[in-house]
């Protein structure tokens, strides 16, 4: 089982207490915060009180709460009762505390989880580095001089550092998958529209998806089950009957990619092939069009969601100011064209996946970059970091609304994690999680622990 699952089982069996587990998590968070800067607030008193209640429930034999007593963290764009939902922006950091939990937070609490704090993120979620935040950059536990990815960088960092077994993130264009790739965690972007966004600070409402980050697929399945209300049957040591053919795209996803990343992903494909799964090369001509459509749609919706900030631009990072102005300048015709292109891309994806159950791609073109990186050059192509070079492989999947997971599949010569993206048909989250668990049952990349950890 996963770390989260093991802890939940130990608490339920009386072999561990929630009070000790939560206390250890908070102590680790306090110790690592100066290094990682991954939290925006820690909830010591609230979490300690909840842990005592969880221990009483465990002693009484409470059933049906699969996360009873386990500590988790929540990205700072989810409403958590009594805390400010800041989006890591000075524009919102002095807002009134939330009066109620977001849907996803409430779902985790119903499953018994205990929120120990809120995590750092890229300002207003529009960025893939987490170097931009009114709380300062979040750092990667493998190397604090490097970015954890964004926008859910703090959530991936605290999971990778084993402070908590799972954390809530959100994914609009890769904001769960990119940090999971950079930090060596397992993350799931769900099918667009499949989980409620109540109580979530919006970035681009038609593209936003809530979801979890965990150290492995077993734990992620527990979190997804709590969020969706549908437990995920996991049998990682057994073949997956529904998974017969995997597609490997011949274009876009392998055209601009670091050789170390490509080699690791292709080696991971070989693991699936060794399990008897057929591997087919498939075209993905829709991907580039989906990538371009994503930017127009996201900019336009971002500007509408935060229109009031056009009168308070001084409260925003200069890069976010530019993003907001660009969104406000998107014409209705351009947005309609982008949405038409997105529809065409969805149809193209359906054709690509007609005879394969899943696609395998790199999650990101490169591993985690240094905080001061402004550009990366791959295969002779220069890409801008703050304009989303990291999201080149994740944004197209968000545009088409498909579910996708990122799982560790190797390391670079610098020892940095490499992520593999599993992309499924609409509604195939369970298949992706089971495929990820099967792969992790046969490999050990997800078990690597960074030097800065609990």
Instruction: Give the pLDDT mean for 28-39.
Output: 98
Return the DSSP state at 163: S
Of the residues 151, 155, 180, 391, only one is catalytic, namely: 151
Query: Nearest Cα to 260, choosing from 60, 418, 398?
Result: 418
Residue 235 has pLDDT above 80, yes or no: no
DSSP for 289-329 reads: HHHHHHHHHHHHHHHHHTGGGGG-GGGS-HHHHHHHHHHHT
Q: Which residues of 122-142 are buried (b: 16+ CB within 10 A; e: fewer)?
A: bbbbbbbbbbbbbbebbbbbb
Residue 234 has pLDDT above 90, yes or no: no
pLDDT of residue 1: 62
pLDDT of residue 419: 98
Residue 29 to residue 179: CA distance in whole angstroms: 18
Of the residues 175, 215, 391, 428, only one is catalytic, namely: 175
Question: How many C-beta neighbours within 10 Å does residue 275 have?
Answer: 14
Q: Does residue 402 have a cis peptide bond before it, meaning omega lies within 30 degrees of 0? A: no
Residue 354 has pLDDT above 90, yes or no: yes
Whole-prediction pTM value? 0.97
> Quick one: 378 exposed, middle or buried, by C-beta within 10 A (0-12, 13-18, 19+)?
middle
> Is the distance from CB of 52 to CB of 19 less than 8 angstroms?
yes
Residues found in the chain: 454
R_g (Cα) of the chain, nearest Å: 20
Alpha carbon 248 to its chain's center? 22
Q: Which of 38-47, 257-266, 300-309, 370-379 has the lowest mean pLDDT?
A: 370-379
Of the chain, the percentage scoring pLDDT greater than 90 comes to: 94
Dump pLDDT digits (tens) for 261-297.
Answer: 999 999 999 999 999 999 999 999 999 999 999 999 9
Q: Which two tokens stand for residue 145?
A: 């001089």
Of the residues 75, 86, 391, 428, only one is catalytic, namely: 75
Q: In which order are the strands placed within the sheet that holds 186-189?
A: 39-42, 114-119, 71-75, 166-171, 209-214, 186-189, 404-411, 417-424, 358-362, 245-249, 278-282
Residue 340 has pLDDT above 70, yes or no: yes
Residue 36 to residue 338: CA distance in whole angstroms: 38
pLDDT of residue 3: 86
Instruction: Give the pLDDT mean for 411-428.
Output: 98
pLDDT of residue 286: 97
Residue 237 has pLDDT above 80, yes or no: no
Tell the residue number behind the tokens 């399990």, with chain if given.
Answer: 275
Residue 357 has pLDDT above 90, yes or no: yes
Tell the residue number behind the tokens 């749609």, with chain if given.
Answer: 297
- The CATH architecture to which 3-296+303-447 belongs is Alpha-Beta Complex (3.90)
- Average pLDDT over the chain reads 96
| Helix, strand or coil, per DSSP, at residue 227 | helix
Residue 245 to residue 360: CA distance in whole angstroms: 11
pLDDT of residue 110: 98
For 35-113, list the strands marked E by DSSP.
Answer: 39-42, 71-75
Residue 197 has pLDDT above 70, yes or no: yes
Q: What is the band of 108 on the pLDDT scale with cuts at 50, 70, 90? A: very high
Dump pLDDT digits (tens) for 67-77.
Answer: 999 999 999 99
* Residue 382 host element (H or E): strand 381-384
Q: Which two tokens stand for residue 117?
A: 């704090």
Q: Please list, in sequence order, all residues whose beta carbon lies within 8 angstroms of the beta carbon of residue 255, skipping any fewer than 6 positions away.
A: 379
Q: Is 75 a catalytic residue?
A: yes
| Helix, strand or coil, per DSSP, at residue 381 | strand
> Is the distance from CB of 102 to CB of 112 less than 8 angstroms?
no
Residue 302 has pLDDT above 80, yes or no: yes
Q: What is the band of 238 on the pLDDT scale with cuts at 50, 70, 90? A: confident
pLDDT of residue 341: 98
Q: What is the band of 236 on the pLDDT scale with cuts at 50, 70, 90? A: confident
Strands 278-282 vs 245-249: parallel, antiparallel or unpaired: parallel
For 90, phi then psi, to 5°, come to -60, -25
pLDDT of residue 240: 78
Dump pLDDT digits (tens) for 126-168.
Answer: 999 999 999 999 999 999 999 999 999 999 999 999 999 999 9
Dump pLDDT digits (tens) for 202-230.
Answer: 999 999 999 999 999 999 999 999 999 99
């Amino acid at each position: 089982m996963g770390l989260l699952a093991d802890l939940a089982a130990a608490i339920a069996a009386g072999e561990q207490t929630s009070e000790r587990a939560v206390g250890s998590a908070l102590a680790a968070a306090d110790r690592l915060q100066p290094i990682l800067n991954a939290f925006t607030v820690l909830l010591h008193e609230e979490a300690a009180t909840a842990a005592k209640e969880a221990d009483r429930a465990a002693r009484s034999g409470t059933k049906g709460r699969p996360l009873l007593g386990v500590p988790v963290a929540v990205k700072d764009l989810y409403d958590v009762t009594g805390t400010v939902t800041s989006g890591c922006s000075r524009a919102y950091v002095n807002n009134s505390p939330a009066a109620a939990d977001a849907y996803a937070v409430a779902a985790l609490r119903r499953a018994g989880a205990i929120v120990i704090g809120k995590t750092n993120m890229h300002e207003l979620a529009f960025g893939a580095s987490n170097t931009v935040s009114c709380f300062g950059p979040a750092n990667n536990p493998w190397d604090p001089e490097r970015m954890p990815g964004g926008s859910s960088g703090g959530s991936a960092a605290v999971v990778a550092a084993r402070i908590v077994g799972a954390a809530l993130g959100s994914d609009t264009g890769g904001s769960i998958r990119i940090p999971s790739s950079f930090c060596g965690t397992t993350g799931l972007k769900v099918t667009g529209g499949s989980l409620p966004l109540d109580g979530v600070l919006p970035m681009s409402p038609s593209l936003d998806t809530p979801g979890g980050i965990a150290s492995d697929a077993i734990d992620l399945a527990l979190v997804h089950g709590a969020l969706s209300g549908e437990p995920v049957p996991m049998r990682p040591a057994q073949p997956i009957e529904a998974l017969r053919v995997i597609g490997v795209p011949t274009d876009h996803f392998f055209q601009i990619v670091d050789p170390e990343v490509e080699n690791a992903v292709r080696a991971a494909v070989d693991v699936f092939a060794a399990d008897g799964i057929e591997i087919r090369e498939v075209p993905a001509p829709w991907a580039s069009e989906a990538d371009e459509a994503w930017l127009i749609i996201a900019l336009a919706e971002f500007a509408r969601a935060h229109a009031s900030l056009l009168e308070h631009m001084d409260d925003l990072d200069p890069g976010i100011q530019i993003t907001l102005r660009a969104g406000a300048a998107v014409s209705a015709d351009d947005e309609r064209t982008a949405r038409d292109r997105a529809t065409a891309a969805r149809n193209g994806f359906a054709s690509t996946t007609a005879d394969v159950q899943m696609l395998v791609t790199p999650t990101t073109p490169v591993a985690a970059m240094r905080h001061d990186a402004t550009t990366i050059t791959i295969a002779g192509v220069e890409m801008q970091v703050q304009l989303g070079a990291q999201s080149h492989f994740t944004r197209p999947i968000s545009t088409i609304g498909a579910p996708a997971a990122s799982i560790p599949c190797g390391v670079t010569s610098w020892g940095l994690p490499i992520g593999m993206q599993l992309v499924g048909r609409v509604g195939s989250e369970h298949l992706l999680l089971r495929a990820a668990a099967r792969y992790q049952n046969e490999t050990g990349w997800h078990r690597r622990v960074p030097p800065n950890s609990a």
